[in-house]
Amino acid sequence: MARFLFLFLFGMMAAMAAGRRAPAPRPVSDEGRHSSLVAWGRRHGLQPAPSRRAGELQLTNAALQVTLKADSRALVFDGVEHRLAFPVRRGSDGLEISARDVQATLDPLVNPPRRPASRPVNVVAINAGHGGKDPGNTEGRRQEKQYTLLLAGQVRRNLERAGLRVVLTRAADTFVSLDDRPAMAARASADLFVSLHFNAFDGPGSRDVAGAETYCLTPAGASSTNDSGNHRGGWLPANRFDRDNILLAHLVQRAILGGTDLNDRGVRRARFKELTLLSMPGILVEGGYMTHPQDAASIYSPKGRAALARAISDGILDYKRLVERRE
Ligand SMILES: [Zn+2]
């Protein structure tokens, strides 16, 4: 009996000790210190320009315009919308931005990463979303998987013509799991992963929801674009490509806006499984809404897809040129 009591007490003490060692999880927020946006701009050769709107700051030079707003997560960088992880706030020194957003978004865009000369971008994995038993979004007899496959083929031809090697994670109407797709890219030693999808929205006001979105992995400790306020996501191995991811997403979204009639729904952050498993930089493109009449007409037409494929390829080639620069 004494032995049982001992074991019971020992168990209780062990449980209490364990309880002390493992405090209840608390939200991780590495928002970091906020710092002056005007000072950040000046460090990168950008000057504050007079703005017509209250609470708005524009930083410009001959080549670039950056716009931010007080109490807002909206950023327009070189004509492309981005969403910051934390709102810009008003400080004693004008508008201030979180250290996390400087590190994850502003700095890599204004001072892009560079690859060593020995590691150029040679191989691109193109992932046609869905396939086989997984049709993706379905509108009448139209299935997302058909159009992502057609688009992937065109992007492949464009990139091959530009001298790159392209690996398709599927080349036919076959089912490939979300885990296998990044694994295939890794086995092919792909330098980039570009996933192709088309969107759908059936809620109220769906006829107004249209345009292109380009996603990259949410940085550690920041919230995803569609999940404001949840900063609990921890560091994932694929977060080591954060600087490349945001640059690639930005350049592809910019090329889409320049080369198609699609609206700008912005560069976004998400922890999509395909992106969390990558062992190379990567993005996920949603090339328009199958639920919107104008987007749908473009998605279903060879001409519309050719323009989108051209823009996506151009964005990838812009990224290649930029990260391989030698100056
Ligand atoms: Zn999809």
Residue limits of CATH 3.40.630.40 in the chain: 123-323
Tell me: domain 123-323, CATH 3.40.50.620, correct?
no
The answer to whether 100 and 85 have CB atoms below 8 angstroms apart is: yes
Averaged pLDDT, 243-271 = 97
pLDDT for 7 equals: 46
**Ligand 1 centre and the CA of 137: distance in Å?**
6
pLDDT of residue 22 exceeding 70: no
**Ligand 1 centre and the CA of 262: distance in Å?**
17
**Ligand 1 centre and the CA of 129: distance in Å?**
5
pLDDT of residue 9 exceeding 90: no
Q: Which residue has the tokens 């991780």?
A: 28
pTM of the predicted structure, to 2 decimals: 0.89
Alpha helices in 22-105 (DSSP H): 37-43, 99-101
pLDDT for 1 equals: 42
**Ligand 1 centre and the CA of 140: distance in Å?**
16
| pLDDT tens digits, 191-237 | 999 999 999 999 888 889 999 999 999 988 777 887 655 556 678 99
Residue limits of CATH 3.30.457.10 in the chain: 34-110
**Ligand 1 centre and the CA of 31: distance in Å?**
31
**CATH superfamily, with its number, for domain 34-110:** Copper amine oxidase-like, N-terminal domain (3.30.457.10)
- Report residue 275 as tokens: 């992106």
| pLDDT tens digits, 275-307 | 999 999 999 999 999 999 999 999 999 999 999
**Ligand 1 centre and the CA of 199: distance in Å?**
6
* E strand residue ranges, 56-168: 56-60, 65-69, 74-77, 80-83, 89-91, 94-98, 123-128, 138-139, 142-143, 165-168
